[in-house]
Structure 1
């Protein structure tokens, strides 16, 4: 799934104290105004936004249409594809399995998947999580590119399997040597997790349990495509020449949720959800720390040596962005007409999450996120 990095100019809550009651109204007003102005500036997409502090939703908003034709408004329960934001979720689950000794960070993945996967005797879980595996881009490979939008074999109603994608998974180049963002690596990661879980259905079941531990229900965060999800799902829109919108969900004849939008085998963009679901997950991971041990969270958020060598801050499916004297931890995503952006100020216990059903030259969710962050900072001590 296509990835968008954290937006570079972020600014958020200034101060770690609880927000006094007297500041509530000005804060809500500032965020409401910023959200409305930012959404209008990027073409009024369907959007949800939420701010969570220490486990509590302190502000939320929604606007625009979930579906343009026939018109349907965005509601608080509308589901959006989260794209690469889901890498953080899948990585956290994988790290939970390392805590349980089911997986090991530095063991070749052939122990879990056998030797048929290219590079499996050399690539490790740590390499997959840190984008240092060296796998070439599967989506650009001649054997698999035709299976996706724009390709001659694209069918949004046909379920994808790992076996269909495996021919595009080629021998990794210099595994472990350098940081290079790899969607292919996370498809391999999902295969590893499926194998150790006992199959795809077992993995989906285990993920449901994991997400419940984050305080999120399947109604707000899910890796499963279903009729119930379809009834609440937004359509994703891509912006073309002259501003024309293409509906990703109908342009190719999809009869339900396009099967490449999320779910297995797409570990690179496996989840769909609401802004509330994404924010609650980040809060549980980085603020409450009830999903992983503190030492594991530290490992996850520490930039890899390879990323630092490239002047980056990427750890394990999450990156660090410093704005002024504040540091944020999170991830963005974009695929199939959807964009997402979520990040946490861990020092102050604040998380901000935005999801939209618009994808163009600009990072739509990231743009709205930035404006909200600026408004938040200006409205708080």
Structure 2
């Protein structure tokens, strides 16, 4: 049996899912890595906006610690130095300084896990990225990318990543599964406000709500501006914690998936909500982007829409039997290819491959 790895992860958040999709992604992945026998330490910057909304105090699948600043982070220098692999995530506060410290301190493999790849690359091109610099990318042995497809080649050719590997978000099927509750809403959306998503949300949910005043809609998530003109049949929920996500999806006849503009342009960028909703057996209506058909088959496992007319057509024309069939097919597909266990295999294989690349070089030194 292969020995487990000692892995240190420095990520945006594990303790709070408020206003971010990183926490649930890390939770599922680290739990699956721990199940494969790996020892994991997660380090998180202690910031007030997450401190006020913590929904995971003590994970049972990894060691966890908060640090107040870069100086206090250095008390973990020995753990970082002795780890087989150290993974730095996107959007980590003072991420550039953290990345420099990791690359200077770690003696094992280092990796960058970008849960925001198209946003990151756009910021790198503009010289505005606050958590990663171009000079650091060749210094990470592996670049795990939220985005697959042509972006992986771009990361290696344009930015010098030694090994770019797709690491899509995933789902923990033990937590996300179908329930049998009543349907409260015809269409629901779960996601934090984002200016570049809002026009799509306007088109695919708010406008259909106006056209179907007898139907019920819901938008759940924080940070939406007070001046949005919500129709009377659109319910607003400020935050739904991860423990309540399955019940939220189950209460929707359909759920809407809306993708950020940078992700649409890059393609191959599925959000964690896509897999979570599918695992719950809820039929998904999604905006369209390149690569989505490689994850879920349109019209059989997911429904695609780019106009309000198409959403109205689905809500009024797809009956309960057909919707249930699409939701069930999406669940089968996700459980077969997109669980956290699948992603943990990808991470382990990439880290071990990078360790193998390093050993011959070390032997020659």
Q: Which has the larger radius of gyration?
A: 2
Provide TM-score, normalisation by structure 1.
0.26
Task: Work out which structure has the larger RCO, using CA pairs closer than 8 Å and 6 or more positions apart in sequence.
Answer: 1
Q: By percentage of residues, which structure has more helix?
A: 2
